[in-house]
Amino acid sequence: MNRAVEGRPLRADAARNVDKIITAARACFREHGPEVPLQTIAVTAGVGPATLFRNFADKEELVLAALNRQLRRLVDPVIDEALTGPDAAEGLFRVINAVMGVASEEANLLGAVAGRRGLLAGITGELFESIAVLLGRGQGQGSLRSDISMTDLIRLLAMLIGAVDTMEAGSDAWRRPVALVEDAIRAERPDRPLPPQSPLPGTSFDTILG
């Protein structure tokens, strides 16, 4: 695993290069898709290939670091707030919403690691631990179904993230399936309408499916 993901201290100049490479990677994946060459990322970052490979052995490590940074930046603060909040179920779904926001915004990054479960384990361990705490608290508070297990929740979250492939990248179309999952695992179904339906991009099914 590269030092950027492991969190080992880097010299100031090396840390700047890592930041430039990750920023360039996110931009290049968004513009060119999951198959963007590492050479393109290096050129965009303004560094040489040797600098890129000194920090990231391959594309998979770079993708992992980029996803890790976005989760740390956008999801960790939500987790901290959820763990200190009084309503565990509300906190749980704030965390899920934050994860889904990253998944949608970084759809091309996710596409580059599709099917590589081992890669994602390094950036989801702490996330799952926090979700497990919120699940247990919510069940203790009576707001979440007592028969839902952490295994169920991991699979539901994986399905939600997988559903991003059926949505426009960067959209909030994930809010409707998240609401359906919330209906399924709360002890009492929330009294609110579902978020609006969004079209399936690139298909002609919308008029049939409704």
Task: Kindly report the CATH class assigned to 75-209.
Answer: mainly alpha
- Any idea where the domains of the chain sit in the sequence? 3-67, 75-209
Residue 189 tokens, joined: 């179904």
Distance CA 165, CA 155 (A): 16
Range 3-67: architecture per CATH? Orthogonal Bundle (1.10)
What pLDDT score does 3 carry? 44
Q: Which residue matches tokens 């919120």?
A: 134
- pLDDT on residue 34: 84
Q: Are 209 and 203 in contact (CB under 8 A)?
A: no
Per-residue model confidence (pLDDT) at position 152? 96
Whole-angstrom distance, CA of residue 136 vs CA of residue 142: 10
pLDDT score at 74: 95
pLDDT in tens, 10-22: 577 888 999 999 9
Q: What does pLDDT average to in each consecutive run of 10 residues of the chain (210 residues)?
A: 50 87 94 91 96 92 89 95 98 97 90 65 81 98 98 93 90 96 96 91 57
Residue-level pLDDT at 199: 86
Instruction: Say if residue 209 is exposed, middle or buried (CB neighbours under 10 Å; 0-12, 13-18, 19+).
Output: exposed
Which pLDDT belongs to residue 44?
97
